[in-house]
Amino acid sequence: MLFQVIIGQMNPLNDTIALTNAASTKTFGLHSHGWWKGDSSHLATDPAIISHACRDLSRPVFFVETPQGLAMGHSGQIIMEPTSLQPDLLPLLGYAPAFHPHQLGDAEFRDQYHLDYAYMAGAMANGITSVKMVVAMAEAGMLSFFGAAGLTLDRVEQAIKQIKGHLGSRTFGMNLIHSPTTPDLERSTVDCYLKHGITLISASAFMDLTPNLVWYRLQGISTDPQGNVVCKNRIFAKISREEVARRFLSPPPEKIVQQLRNDGRVNHHQAQLAQRIPMCDALTVEADSGGHTDNRPTLALFPTMRTLCDRMAEKYRYPTIPKIGLAGGIGTPQAAAAAFAMGAAFILTGSVNQGCIEAGTSETVRKMLAATRQADMVMAPSADMFEMGVKVQVLKRGTMFPQRAQKLYDLYTRYDSWEEIPDNDRALLERDFFKAPYDVTWDATMQFFAERDPRQIERAQKDPRHKMALVFRSYLGQSSIWAITGVPERQMDYQIWCGPAMGAFNEWVGGTFLEPIEARKVTVVAHNLLYGAAVALRLWQLQSQNNRLSSLDGSFAPLPMEILTQKL
C-alpha cells in the first residue's frame, strides 16, 4: 500500500504529523531523524524478517514509521528537511549502512601490517600458539604471534623456518617473554630473531625494559628520504600496568642505549635516532586474561592507557602515535564489540584459541577447556618468575595444579633448604608431586638448566634455597608440558593457562555447531567473533537512534563458514 504524507507545520509539543491514505487518516507520534523516500511496497514488517535483515551486514537498513507500525527496507533516500509537499515520504526512525567486519578497528593499523582484519591471536607459550595456528591466521588476513616462550632455541628456529616456508611475505610475529632469571636466554632469543629477519615481536611479561629488548628495537633503525625515523624492528608490548606502559611509550632509556654503545652493539647514529622513537609500535592492553595477568578490569584499564598514550605522544612529539589494542576477556561478539567501541585499534584473543584444533596442546586439554565456566579460574605461582611471587591465571576445574603450585611456593617462602622442610611434607612432594626422590628430581633439573642456563646450576650448588627453587620450578614448568602432551597419569598436575573468556565463549557457542571441540577452528572462531561484533555494533547504533528500535534483538549465534562467507 502506498501512503501519502502531508507535510505541514510540526507541533513541537507532541512531535506528531498527519499521515493519510485513501481509506483513513491516522495521526501517530515519532522521534524521527528525517524522512525516507522509496518504494514502500518493499518495506517489511515481519519481526523475523527484520531480525534477519539486521544481521545481513552487506546491505543498509532503513527503519520507518507507517500507519501499521514499524517497517524496514534496504533501500531508499533520506531527506532531512523537505522543502515542498512530497506525498511519498515516511518518517525515518533509524538508519545503518552496510558494515563489513574488516571495517572494525583502526584502518591505518590494518594497512601498516597488511591485514584484512584488526584481529590477533596472542602468543601462548610452549608452542600452544603453534605453527599451524600462525599460518591459518595469516592466510585469513589476521595476525598471530608464535608461542616461543618455554621452547628451546632449536624449536624456535625450526618454527620460524616452517612458518616462513608456508607464508612467504605474509605478516606474522614471534613472542619474546621477559626472562629476569635467565637473561642469557633472552639474549639468545633476540639473536635468533635478528638472524632470521624477524621484524615483529610481542614483548610479554616485561616489568621493565632490558638491554636485549632495546638492542632488538634499534637494529636496522634509519631515516627515509624525508628525514622520518624508520624502525625496521617493531614491538607490540603486552602490558597491564601504567608504569610499564609509560616505559614502552617513552624513547629507549639513555642509560641502556649508552650501555649498548659501550658494548659496540649500537653506533652513534642509532643512539641519536633512538631519542625520536617510542620503544613500541603498539600496546596490547591486557585485562583479565589467562597466564600472566594482573586481573585488571577492562573498563578502568583501557581508557587510562589510551589517555596515557596520547599524552606521551604529545610529550615526545611522535609523528606516529602507537596503536592501542585490547586483550583479556574477549570470548563473545559483545566483548569484541565493546573493545572496538572503546576505541581499540585491534583485539587480541588467547584463551579461546587454546581450545581450537590448531592449538599445540592435547585433546584432553581441549575437552577440559570446552567444559570450562567463567568461575573455573584461579591464580597460581608461575614457573618463570617463581621466586618473585608472580602468579598466572590457570584452570582449576579438573586439575590440582593450583593447590600444588601454591604449596610449593608456601614451602619456599618458609624454609631455606629442602632439608629444613618437615619430613611429612617432603614425603608428600616426592610421592605426589615429583613422583621420584628429591635427588633424582634434582639430577633431571640440572640436565634441563645445563642446556639453557648453566649459571643457575653454579648458583644452586652454593645456595641450597636456590637449588630448592629450581626443583620446584621444574615441577611447575613440566606441568604445562604434561598438559600439552596429554600425559594421562599426570592430568591432576596439568597447568592450563586460561581466563574467563573461555567460559563466556562456551556459554555463547552452547547448542551450536561450535560446541564440539572438533569444529573449533581458530579462523572460524575469529570470523564469528568479528562478524558478531559488527552485528552488535550495528544494532547498538540503531537502538540508540530511537526508542522504537530498542527492542531489536542484538544476539548473534555462530555460523559455519560456508554460510558466513556468503554474508561477508
Q: Nine-digit cell at 359? A: 592449538
**H-helix or E-strand spanning residue 95:** strand 89-96
Dihedral (CA of 492, 494, 499, 505) sign: negative
Share of the chain above pLDDT 90, in %: 81
Q: DSSP for 460-493?
A: HHH-HHHHHHHHHHHHHHHHHHHHHHT-GGGGGG
Which residues does residue 327 pair with via DSSP β-bridges, in sequence order? 286, 348
Q: What number of other Cβ atoms are within 10 A of residue 543's Cβ?
A: 16
pLDDT of residue 18: 38
Phi, psi of 456 (to 5 degrees): -65, -35
- Cα 470 versus chain centre, distance: 32
> What are the angstrom distances between the C-alpha of 441 and each of 41, 384, 412, 519?
79, 18, 16, 40
Q: How many CA atoms are closer than 13 Å to the CA of 132, on its beta-carbon side? A: 11
pLDDT of residue 202: 98
- The 10s digit of each residue's pLDDT in 504-559 is 999 999 999 999 999 999 999 999 999 999 999 999 999 999 888 988 887 899 99
Q: Which has the closest alpha carbon to 282: 498, 118, 522?
A: 118
Strands 391-395 and 291-292: antiparallel
Largest Cα separation within the chain, whole Å, is 100
d(CA 253, CA 274): 9
pLDDT along the chain (568 residues), means of 10: 33 34 36 84 92 92 91 92 76 94 97 97 96 98 96 96 94 93 87 97 95 96 93 96 97 97 94 96 95 89 96 95 96 97 97 96 97 95 90 95 97 97 97 96 93 88 96 95 97 96 97 96 98 96 90 89 84
d(CA 38, CA 504): 42
pTM for this structure? Answer: 0.90
Q: Which amino acid is at 407?
A: K
- The 10s digit of each residue's pLDDT in 231-252 is 999 999 999 999 999 999 999 9
Residue written as grid cell 632439608:
419
In contact, 121 and 137? CB cutoff 8 Å: yes
Long-range CB contact pairs, 456-465, < 8 A, 24+: 456/181, 456/182, 464/416, 464/417, 464/418, 464/419, 465/412, 465/415, 465/416, 465/417
- Cα 239 versus chain centre, distance: 12
Number of H helices, E strands in the chain: 21, 21
Which residues does residue 229 pair with via DSSP β-bridges, in sequence order? 223
Which 3 state secondary structure label does DSSP give 35? strand
Q: Nine-digit cell at 226? A: 624525508
- Taken in order of first residue, the domains within the chain and their CATH numbers are 4-98 (no CATH), 119-323 (3.20.20.70), 400-495 (no CATH)
In contact, 297 and 288? CB cutoff 8 Å: yes
pLDDT of residue 5: 36
d(CA 512, CA 518): 13
pLDDT of residue 451: 81
Which residues does residue 203 pair with via DSSP β-bridges, in sequence order? 176, 237
Q: What number of other Cβ atoms are within 10 A of residue 436's Cβ?
A: 13
pLDDT of residue 292: 86
**Extended strands (E) in 183-305:** 200-204, 222-223, 229-230, 234-239, 282-286, 291-292
- Cα 90 versus chain centre, distance: 44
Which residues does residue 379 pair with via DSSP β-bridges, in sequence order? 393
- Region of 310 (left: φ > 0; alpha: ψ -120 to 50; beta: rest) is alpha
Contacts for 451 with CB less than 8 Å, ≥ 6 apart: 152
Phi, psi of 263 (to 5 degrees): -85, -5
> What are the angstrom distances between the C-alpha of 139 and each of 117, 175, 190, 450?
11, 19, 26, 39
Q: Which has the closest alpha carbon to 396: 372, 364, 428?
A: 372
d(CA 236, CA 204): 9
In contact, 456 and 182? CB cutoff 8 Å: yes
pLDDT of residue 85: 61
Residue 150 is given by DSSP the state T
Contacts for 191 with CB less than 8 Å, ≥ 6 apart: none
Phi, psi of 96 (to 5 degrees): -140, 130
